[in-house]
Structure 1
Amino acid sequence: MHIISRAEWGARPPESRSTVPWSKRTVFMGHYSAASATQTPRQIQDYHLRVKGWSDIGYNFLINSISGVIYEGRGWTTLGAHCSGHNTEAIGVCIIGKDQPGRQDVSDAARRAFKWLYEQANDRTGKRLQLLGHRDRGNTSCPGDEIYAWLHAGLPIVGGTTPAPAKPPAAGKPAPGTPIAFPLPAGWYFGPASGPDYSVSGKYERYFKGRTDRTWMREWATQLDRRRWSIGKGKTWLGGAGNDGIYGPEYRALAEAFQRDQRLRVDGLIGVATWDAAFKNPVT
């Protein structure tokens, strides 16, 4: 899985920092931001610096509750500021979003991302870290009832296990055509119109790098056609509406099939990893 770096999301430099040896890490702690999933890491960092008076964003990592995009906070071995008195032993991961009774607020993509980070932490420490919520060590309702219950159930994932980090196929013919850089801002993706602002559907024809979102989405599907996928009206993929550039069930099904083929995280969203795989990974 790809982690959006501090540089990519525009983090301010920390005012100070202290490191923690891996030997002292014993806890993997879940948090939530208790606000809209449209919050950005930069907004959270600004709040922590200006209002809390901390030296940096408080969390080690952050995950968007809808898209499952992972953002680097302070990183693996930097002392956090997410749970007073427990920042040395605990790696703090914040799910950006809030808990609303009667509905699932944390997507399967976000759960897989959280579990992947947890497994990465276990690999790096060489031991199984204790899974806790913020409320286990502080007088708070964080991380909300939904996330808290899921943490203490052992991070079950419906429909299968957590996928391994993305790896391109080992051999095959070079990808056809000239690679095109992902056209959306960091952390954005092509996805449903019902999603947040950074879910770009093509419905509203927004412009990115001089071209409409529909044009870019058609470009991605056309590249799959160059890779010999059967795409277009009456064909295997996008057989109904064709390659019209408006994200819907057909584009989602195509994205999921391509992600499975390329051993990527299967979420049906066309983010930077899925885009790059079309233009850069060998054709097998």
Structure 2
Amino acid sequence: MSSPVSRSAWGARSPRGRTTVAWSRRTGFTVHYSAGPASQTPRRIQDFHMDGNGWADIGYNFLVDRSGTVYEGRGWTVAGAHAAPHNTSHIGVCFIGRDGDATPAAKASIRSLYDEACRRSGRTLARTWHGGLSGNSTECPGSDLRAWVRAGMPVGDGGGGGGAPAPSPGAGTLPGPRFDFPLPAGHYFGPASGPDQSVSGAFRRTFRGRTDREWLREWATQLGRRGWSVGRGRTHLARHGNDGVYGPEYRALARAFQRSQGLTVDGLIGRETWDEAFHAPVT
């Protein structure tokens, strides 16, 4: 997961108070929406929470906009103010927008936050939505995100919430989050039979806080955001889906992508092939 936009970067006010929470007390992860325009900023939401609601700070632990950009709210280990009486036990993440506004990029970032929360806590946290928590009678986070959470928060193989491929983005756009290449210099995603520098996902190695499988899935998911048909039963990764274990299907997908972008066609996913997916506009 790329680093969230820090509080100082989005101009957050200082909190009036804060209560820290041990990871041992975290049991769930709750998805919200702001129910306002996608143009809302974290600062506007914070102002409403502090001045309108009288809270000590913005209510959420993190926020995500339509582009998939993640903003730091209260952070990982501070109790929120998003879903009483679950503010201590549950991490609250808010999508900035209305029902139906959440893009595949936004959902992928929310899922990345969930995966990171599970990694930090050392166990699988409950996936929940605001209106599904006891004592919270609300439509939040809307029917689209609610259905997505109930389906297990999928990304890659139908990560947009339905079975149809996402529409191709327009030329010149750069969809999704901006993940830098996660492997050390000289390493690449490749077969398990290769040297130590070949990272396959077979051995669950960890780089920059995420497993190799998670990173490889992230790369293939990004191709899906760029308009490629990726996932079980689709054009690429059709047999095994986006499982994060490098094999013939990932090699074929990498070769097809490299060929389309005018890169060296070797089927290995190194820095150049990674950066082309995450940092080069769709052409």
Q: Partner of 2:109: helix, strand, or coil?
A: helix
Q: What are the equivalent positions in structure 2 for 1:1-284 lying under 5 Å apart?
A: 1-64=2-65, 66-99=66-99, 104-137=100-133, 138-159=136-157, 166-167=180-181, 170-171=184-185, 261-262=273-274, 266=278
Q: Is the 2:81–2:87 Cα contact (8 Å) retained in structure 1?
A: yes
**Distance across 1 between alignment mates of 2:271 and 2:33:** 28
Q: Is the 2:67–2:177 Cα contact (8 Å) retained in structure 1?
A: no
RMSD: 3.2
Q: Is the 2:80–2:88 Cα contact (8 Å) retained in structure 1?
A: yes
**Distance across 2 between alignment mates of 1:165 and 1:26:** 28
Alpha-carbon spacing, 1:267–1:113, altered in 2? closer, same or farther (3 Å)? farther
- Aligned pair count? 185
**Distance across 2 between alignment mates of 1:13 and 1:152:** 35
Q: Partner of 1:155: helix, strand, or coil?
A: coil
Q: For residue 123 of structure 2, what is the amino acid of its counterpart?
A: K
Which stretches in structure 2 are left out of the alignment for 5+ residues? 160-175, 187-260, 264-268
Q: When the two structures are superposed, what TM-score results if normalisation uses the length of structure 1?
A: 0.59
Question: Comparing 155-164 with 11-20, which one deviates more in the overlay?
Answer: 155-164
**Distance across 1 between alignment mates of 2:277 and 2:50:** 33
Q: For residue 166 of structure 1, what is the amino acid of its counterpart?
A: D
**Distance across 2 between alignment mates of 1:136 and 1:125:** 22
Deviations 1:179-234 (A, max 9, x none): xxxxxxxxxxxxxxxxxxxxxxxxxxxxxxxxxxxxxxxxxxxxxxxxxxxxxxxx
Q: When the two structures are superposed, what TM-score results if normalisation uses the length of structure 2?
A: 0.59
Deviations 1:140-191 (A, max 9, x none): 100000000000100112448899963355336xxxxxxxxxxxxxxxxxxx
Q: For residue 171 of structure 1, what is the amino acid of its counterpart?
A: A
**Distance across 1 between alignment mates of 2:48 and 2:281:** 29
Q: For residue 84 of structure 2, what is the amino acid of its counterpart?
A: S
Q: Is the 1:167–1:264 Cα contact (8 Å) retained in structure 2?
A: no
**Distance across 2 between alignment mates of 1:12 and 1:115:** 27
Alpha-carbon spacing, 1:268–1:90, altered in 2? closer, same or farther (3 Å)? farther
| Aligned-residue identity in percent | 45
Which stretches in structure 1 are left out of the alignment for 5+ residues? 173-234, 238-256, 271-284
Q: Is the 2:62–2:94 Cα contact (8 Å) retained in structure 1?
A: yes
Q: Is the 1:122–1:128 Cα contact (8 Å) retained in structure 2?
A: yes
Alpha-carbon spacing, 1:33–1:26, altered in 2? closer, same or farther (3 Å)? same
Q: Is the 2:64–2:93 Cα contact (8 Å) retained in structure 1?
A: yes
Q: Is the 2:181–2:271 Cα contact (8 Å) retained in structure 1?
A: no
Q: Partner of 2:32: helix, strand, or coil?
A: strand
